[in-house]
């Protein structure tokens, strides 16, 4: 019997193509490397470009979406839900995760390169001797940013008290988080009340835009966001009060459910602490918590006014403080104080 080859219709060809594509996609997913989960712009682009294979990035909208993804991992398994190998969060958002959700990097040599003031953050503020669950790759103090106010900049020795100057009434942007305002006023009710009377807005996300547009003349902002602007905008001045400042931290975390077959990319993590990447990060305001003597040769390549902010010295850093998570009673007490000062 003669064999007559079947003639495939166009629809049949398309169906086969879809099935083949689906199979190929499934194969690619199964062979894909571990993920770095992060919000857009939370890691420097120059560093991300060096992320080695088989690692890949998964970008989400913001830190809230990163935290939500981590919470979902702690619930019942869902189809297609993959545990990332690394997660990028700042210390505020990371405080919402339990220690049981994380695992140690087990890289003491890398952590030994960091300055001592980063150690509590690496333990996520657990007691000395507990596992290092976070890689604190950058820190930023909250500082005073001034626009076109050389008269106030000349009084920088007044520190945080400068924010209470009558000329700033309705011209000051404060952080969204009440805790920062409480910290810089030392929890003093009278000073906090006066500070709140000064506020134009509570918005650190768009506070810089309010400052640059001239709607505000002063703002309390993370130093990281200001460093790239200082070279090109002569109207701006930054005051890091000599009494110290609260610190914010950028962290990389390793989820507990991450596959153990692919270890964390330690060489990539370490690259942020040395040249040539270090100088590129400093130019964008990202300052790794290296010992001042190690950071000095690179920081001093910048103009003196910027180098002084990148390299504040051990004495000033010693007067700064990180913000461990608050207990529920502490949160309620702070909220009551904040509301009463309105």
Domain ranges of the chain: 35-138+248-274
DSSP state string for 224-286? HHHHHHHTT-TTEEEE--TT--BEEEEEEE-BTTS-TTS---HHHHHHTTSTTHHHHHHHTT-
pLDDT for 260 equals: 65
Angstrom distance (rounded) from CA 54 to CA 36: 11
Q: Which of 27-41, 102-116, 304-318 has the lowest mean pLDDT?
A: 27-41
Integer CA distances (angstroms), 267 to 49, 54, 113, 153, 158, in order:
14, 14, 13, 42, 43
**What is the reported pLDDT for 10?**
43
User: What per-residue confidence (pLDDT) applies to 19?
Assistant: 37
Query: Average pLDDT of 232-247?
Result: 98
DSSP string across 64-116? HHHHHHHHHHTSS--TT----SEEEEEHHHHTTS-GGGB-----HHHHTTS-G
What's domain 35-138+248-274's superfamily in CATH? Answer: Periplasmic binding protein-like II (3.40.190.10)
**pLDDT range class, residue 16, cuts 50, 70, 90:** very low
Question: What is the length of the chain?
Answer: 342
For 275-302, what is the mean pLDDT? Answer: 98
DSSP states of 168-179: GTT-EEE-SSHH
- The answer to whether residue 20 scores a pLDDT higher than 50 is no
The answer to whether the CB of 224 falls within 8 A of the CB of 287 is: yes
pTM equals 0.88
Per-residue pLDDT reduced to its tens digit, 166-198: 999 999 999 999 999 999 999 999 999 999 999
Three-state secondary-structure class, residue 127: coil
């Amino acid at each position: 019997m003669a064999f007559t080859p079947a003639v495939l219709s166009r629809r049949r060809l398309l169906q086969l193509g879809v099935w083949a594509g689906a199979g190929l996609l499934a194969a690619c997913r199964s062979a894909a490397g571990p993920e770095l989960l992060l919000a857009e712009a939370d890691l420097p682009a120059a560093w991300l470009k060096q992320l080695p294979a088989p690692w890949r990035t998964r970008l989400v909208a913001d830190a809230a979406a990163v935290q939500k993804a981590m919470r979902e991992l702690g619930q019942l398994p869902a189809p297609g839900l993959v545990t990332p190998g690394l997660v990028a969060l700042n210390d505020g958002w990371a405080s919402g995760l339990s220690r049981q959700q994380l695992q140690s990097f087990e890289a003491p040599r890398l952590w030994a390169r960091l300055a001592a003031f980063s150690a509590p953050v690496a333990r996520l503020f657990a007691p000395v001797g507990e596992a290092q669950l976070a890689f604190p790759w950058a820190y930023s103090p909250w500082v005073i940013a001034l626009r076109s106010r050389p008269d106030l900049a000349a009084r920088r020795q007044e520190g945080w008290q400068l924010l209470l100057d009558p000329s700033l009434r309705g011209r000051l942007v404060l952080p969204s988080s009440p805790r920062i305002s409480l910290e810089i006023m030392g929890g003093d009710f009278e000073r906090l009340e006066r500070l709140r009377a000064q506020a134009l807005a509570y918005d650190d996300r768009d506070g810089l835009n309010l400052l640059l547009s001239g709607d505000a003349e002063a703002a309390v902002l993370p130093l990281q966001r200001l460093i790239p602007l200082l070279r090109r905008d002569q109207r701006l001045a930054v005051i890091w009060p000599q009494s110290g400042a609260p610190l914010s931290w950028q962290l990389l975390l390793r989820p507990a459910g991450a596959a153990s077959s692919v270890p964390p990319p330690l060489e990539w993590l370490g690259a942020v602490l040395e040249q040539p990447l270090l100088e590129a990060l400093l130019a964008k305001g990202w300052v790794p918590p290296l010992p001042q003597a190690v950071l000095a040769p690179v920081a001093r390549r910048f103009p003196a006014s910027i180098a002084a902010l990148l390299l504040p010295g051990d004495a000033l850093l010693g007067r700064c403080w990180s913000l461990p998570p608050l207990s529920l009673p502490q949160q309620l007490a702070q909220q009551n104080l904040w509301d009463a000062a309105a």
